[in-house]
Structure 1
């Protein structure tokens, strides 16, 4: 897709002179696109400032990086490593600049509140102070439409009069509200004019948040679920349009001071779409299955709360996403659309790339993450999970781990019908088996006497080889039965000799559990086992590390309890148990005799 440059970009600018601008965060997702668009327009000397690295690393295969490389050679662009926590570094890069575009880094560690505060809030203060000291005329701050959304209610065509809520569940949004307020309050102080843009759900090539999150969910099998009704609308904004809006704001800030300076403007593609339809377009374009299973929002919220509780108890750290899981649930289940008529009227903004073209460009740029790409085939996530290894990595694993939903659902429905036939039909097991065999016999015989063609459709005959069992299969089955029989006899003999305490305790525990199982209804136990088989392995695969961590905590608790018990036992018994644990079976009887 070729991105066009429209007249709106230059509607209010005087292009007779070359102007200097600073793009703080110029190597981030939005910053790269803004830098490339400024260089394509011409008439700008662009200072790229970023704290991601001390040296500029360019990708020759990237069109935007190639453009920046040429600009660096011609002197139309420069790069400087700037930490917004240090005002002196900001002053150094902003001296002599006409405009400063400021966007925060998107890869913040959300578990470090102090660092996030210093970068977002204190960073905004430092940028404002540096702009005032250097007599910069215009400051454009990239905020987000999230600053008016707390998840408690839908937003239908919200405009700039929509008030910000007082409390947010997401820390970064709360901090961004404070930074936005600082930028707007700094307007017209020491000659500085400020403006705030609030784009809604930015997406596009180079996205490090939304699209990678969807791909990760698809790989884990969670992308098949729709949170809520699945009918909520949302506004998405292609990254090129956001860059275009920044340039429009910079051009109009001088000429329309009253209507633009100190104001905030919502930015979108002006094409509201059903949230889950947009997600489906991205996933299907990358070769993944579109979401189709609806789950209530309250259920997902409870699961996330339980997960958070377990993480806190086990001192685990949840995945570092720029948006908290709870906030993503609210975003995915609530309607959130905005009215951008004010930006159209006062900034002269209108999208330069349609939503359809933006989605196509995004999918093309993320082809390396598609389901059939070499990255998918050879990535580390292709490693077999413990659940898959436990189930044998075959057809059973594919069914119980829901790799093929149709096959899994068919097997579950078949087993459920068999369970109902044998245990809930009100008949004895023998009569149920006899009727089932009678039914199978009638069906097979009826299928056999069907004509070769029915209404033009050929009837495929069942080959007799389907009912044959190979000698090797029979031989393997007999070997397995013999092995189990001999193992059982060997264990009984060892119990009769009274030489293996470990084997004795294992037998006691197993028989005790068998006694407990038989004390309940067999139908109930089989029903529970059926449901457990089709859910437990899938859940374990999704939360393998958390469950393993919980198991380690339980094991540590058992070992501590064992140690406490050992300390309370008499010294002679403790000594015997300690010696017996490290002796061979041949030496154990002698020790027991000596202890007696």
Structure 2
């Protein structure tokens, strides 16, 4: 925990004023804290909230509270789409640090455009009107990423792509261009900072998303090969970079003004190693199952189709799921040499230390935390009930990965043995039984220890069938036969048309399956069994809602078919004339 020094005792109020627009957001808070720590600024914190509550347990909020009470800081509520409010806030200041205000990923395009692009235009015009000397924009390294190609040690000379796959990144790129283009107009000097994969205590996008997926069991999957390298930026380093950029603009304006700089921890790391360190630190399982990117894209396409059927539009989200998959599966590293040479930036917190601080700050959300929700832990899912809540449920719901993989591999081998070798079913069964007999015979003659390896002894009890098991088997077979006889009688009497239609449907499907696609059906059934129940458990509510939609549509279609109602006298054997 960071302790707060007595920054404000016996020190006069500084006369230099700066404004941090978006200063109550994630990265903005850390910059405000660093500016107050320097003891040379009067800091105006501007954000969209009408009022805000300070957390006494946060050292950032505690520092701000002390500054507010001493007059070294003030809070201003602004709407960046209203230029008059911006002018009233920044008037009399010499420096403006601009973080996007209220630009969340889950907003629609118009709102995001107004907050990011139009907000940047208004801030620039207000700075020019108020004769502000320096404007520093908080951008993103994503502005040079097209969502398709890897990036290796990119420098600032790398151009922005002509087309983006992500609306949020495109708007950020437009805002950055506006800020850089405004350099040296009416005496305003500007520059832009481009951090990559920002993380740290209080982060509101990546960490909550990651922990939500971890609780759902999805973080066991690695998207792609898992070999992609990424650059990360700890949030304190971002605050330090803004201070460095302001000092560089003030002293060496010609070399810095009008330029953008990549800002990272200068420690590229395997992306999935970074994720694993975060998850393991919070008690969750690290990713270990690799999924091809193509399969993930198809799953996302299916999910988007389901959302459209449920009436949930993806156009309300500024970050594309496919773009996020690209960020997690492709290499993206950046060269920060220019930031070091031109603005004097170097990380003040290392990557390993930053990860430890981040994990500590989210400890209340750890898997074994006392603050975790208890209600959902013991709640039985519908998929679990459908599978009987036994060993089959544990296997098909991926609760025991080793057992699941063992069963899946065994079924795949049996599928190959009986369906893909070209032999008949009887010959495959006979050959398999012969191989089992030979292996059992050989094992019976082997010593218990062979060349240092212990040989398992097959107990005769493995070949013994318990009497209750035989009775249960006979009872089940008899029940099936009785049920089949009962259904046959109903069909023979012609009294239940629903059963007749069901029986005909089942027989037609069985005939089609056996005659044409038996091998394909069995193979698909194996894959379906090991994926469908797991997916259903994760998205029970959404799938149930989709099923209701499809069922209602089927009912509407059935209304258009003519319904034949037979005369009851026909069933009694009488014919009315």
| CA contact 1:275–1:332 (8 Å) conserved in 2 | yes
Cα distance in 2 for residues equivalent to 1:594 and 1:85: 81
Cα distance in 2 for residues equivalent to 1:467 and 1:65: 70
| CA contact 2:4–2:59 (8 Å) conserved in 1 | no
Cα distance in 1 for residues equivalent to 2:284 and 2:232: 21
Matches within 5 A, 1:393-412: 393-412=389-408
Q: Do the aligned partners of residues 203 and 452 (structure 1) sit closer, same or farther apart at CA in structure 2, a change above 3 Å counting? A: same
Cα distance in 2 for residues equivalent to 1:286 and 1:318: 31
Which residue of the partner structure matches residue 20 of structure 2? 23
Select the residue among 511, 523, 526 that pairs with 2:522. 526
Cα distance in 2 for residues equivalent to 1:3 and 1:133: 40
Which residue of the partner structure matches residue 285 of structure 2? 289
**2:30 matches 1:33:** yes
TM-score, normalised via structure 1 length? 0.83
| CA contact 1:209–1:322 (8 Å) conserved in 2 | no
Cα distance in 1 for residues equivalent to 2:321 and 2:35: 35
Query: What secondary structure, in the 3-state scheme, does the structure 2 residue paired with 1:402 have?
Result: coil
CA offset at residue 202 of structure 1? 0.8
CA offset at residue 82 of structure 1? 1.8
**2:493 matches 1:517:** no
| CA contact 1:138–1:253 (8 Å) conserved in 2 | yes
Which residue of the partner structure matches residue 270 of structure 1? 266
Which residue of the partner structure matches residue 353 of structure 1? 349
| CA contact 1:248–1:348 (8 Å) conserved in 2 | yes
Deviates more, 1:225-234 or 1:457-466: 457-466
**Which structure 2 residue ranges, 5 or more long, are not aligned?**
6-11
| CA contact 1:499–1:589 (8 Å) conserved in 2 | no
Q: Do the aligned partners of residues 89 and 56 (structure 1) sit closer, same or farther apart at CA in structure 2, a change above 3 Å counting? A: same
Cα distance in 2 for residues equivalent to 1:72 and 1:595: 96
Cα distance in 2 for residues equivalent to 1:135 and 1:238: 33
Cα distance in 1 for residues equivalent to 2:422 and 2:179: 74
Query: What secondary structure, in the 3-state scheme, does the structure 1 residue paired with 2:554 have?
Result: helix
Q: How many aligned residue pairs are there?
A: 571
Select the residue among 464, 486, 492 that pairs with 2:488. 492
CA offset at residue 100 of structure 1? 1.9
CA offset at residue 157 of structure 1? 2.1
Which residue of the partner structure matches residue 209 of structure 2? 213
Which residue of the partner structure matches residue 197 of structure 1? 193
**Which structure 1 residue ranges, 5 or more long, are not aligned?**
6-14, 581-586
**2:183 matches 1:187:** yes
Q: Do the aligned partners of residues 595 and 405 (structure 1) sit closer, same or farther apart at CA in structure 2, a change above 3 Å counting? A: farther
Deviates more, 1:344-353 or 1:334-343: 334-343
Q: Do the aligned partners of residues 3 and 245 (structure 1) sit closer, same or farther apart at CA in structure 2, a change above 3 Å counting? A: farther
Deviates more, 1:116-125 or 1:59-68: 59-68
Cα distance in 2 for residues equivalent to 1:486 and 1:46: 84
**2:44 matches 1:47:** yes
Q: Do the aligned partners of residues 155 and 439 (structure 1) sit closer, same or farther apart at CA in structure 2, a change above 3 Å counting? A: closer
Cα distance in 2 for residues equivalent to 1:262 and 1:439: 76
Q: Could you give the per-residue CA deviations for residues 501-525 of structure 1, whole angstroms, max 9, x where no partner exists?
A: 2222222222222332332475554
TM-score, normalised via structure 2 length? 0.86
Q: Do the aligned partners of residues 105 and 478 (structure 1) sit closer, same or farther apart at CA in structure 2, a change above 3 Å counting? A: farther
**2:251 matches 1:258:** no
Deviates more, 1:469-478 or 1:488-497: 469-478
Q: Could you give the per-residue CA deviations for residues 143-201 of structure 1, whole angstroms, max 9, x where no partner exists?
A: 11111221343332222222222221211111112211222233333333322111111
Deviates more, 1:360-369 or 1:117-126: 360-369
Q: Do the aligned partners of residues 564 and 439 (structure 1) sit closer, same or farther apart at CA in structure 2, a change above 3 Å counting? A: same
Q: Do the aligned partners of residues 100 and 550 (structure 1) sit closer, same or farther apart at CA in structure 2, a change above 3 Å counting? A: same
Query: What secondary structure, in the 3-state scheme, does the structure 2 residue paired with 1:169 have?
Result: coil
Query: What secondary structure, in the 3-state scheme, does the structure 2 residue paired with 1:373 have?
Result: coil
Which residue of the partner structure matches residue 172 of structure 2? 176
Cα distance in 2 for residues equivalent to 1:436 and 1:262: 75
| CA contact 1:376–1:382 (8 Å) conserved in 2 | no
Which residue of the partner structure matches residue 8 of structure 1? none
**2:114 matches 1:118:** yes
Give the superposed CA RMSD. Answer: 3.6
Select the residue among 558, 561, 569 that pairs with 2:557. 561
Cα distance in 2 for residues equivalent to 1:372 and 1:594: 75
CA offset at residue 458 of structure 1? 7.5
Cα distance in 2 for residues equivalent to 1:351 and 1:183: 25
Q: Could you give the per-residue CA deviations for residues 354-378 of structure 1, whole angstroms, max 9, x where no partner exists?
A: 0111111112222233333345563
| CA contact 2:228–2:271 (8 Å) conserved in 1 | yes
